Amino acid sequence: MKHLKFIKQILSKCESLRPDVIAFASQTPNWVEVCVSDHDLYFYDKRFQALTKAWHKIANQKGFKLIFFCCYPKEKDLLELAENDNLIMNL
């Protein structure tokens, strides 16, 4: 993946904003999907909202699109992404 370092920085920052947040990403042909597991962080945290705006701008400058989701990671979904070599996580 062309922008792996940038995506991992995003995931790391997302996980540092609140305890117990799990962040992961995957790539589609048209964009990179970034998922965070904390509903309140995704919908109500002003820092997170400001960061996502900045990350969108940076991604556009780098030539790709980011989409952020609030989703709860399920083992089978993560396994499927990993088997397809399309799972990005900070371990």
More confident residue, 73 or 36: 36
Rounded to an integer, the average pLDDT of 70-81 is: 93
The residue type at 29:
P
List pLDDT tens digits, range 21-38. 999 999 988 899 999 999
> Between the CA of residue 31 and those of 5, 18, 21, 47, 59, what are the distances in Å?
16, 25, 22, 23, 10
pLDDT at position 1 is 62
Rounded to an integer, the average pLDDT of 74-85 is: 93
Instruction: Give CATH for domain 4-89.
Output: 3.30.300
8 Å CB contact between 23 and 11 = yes
Domain residues of the chain, as ranges?
4-89
Whole-number percent of the chain with pLDDT over 90? 88
Output the pTM of the full model: 0.92
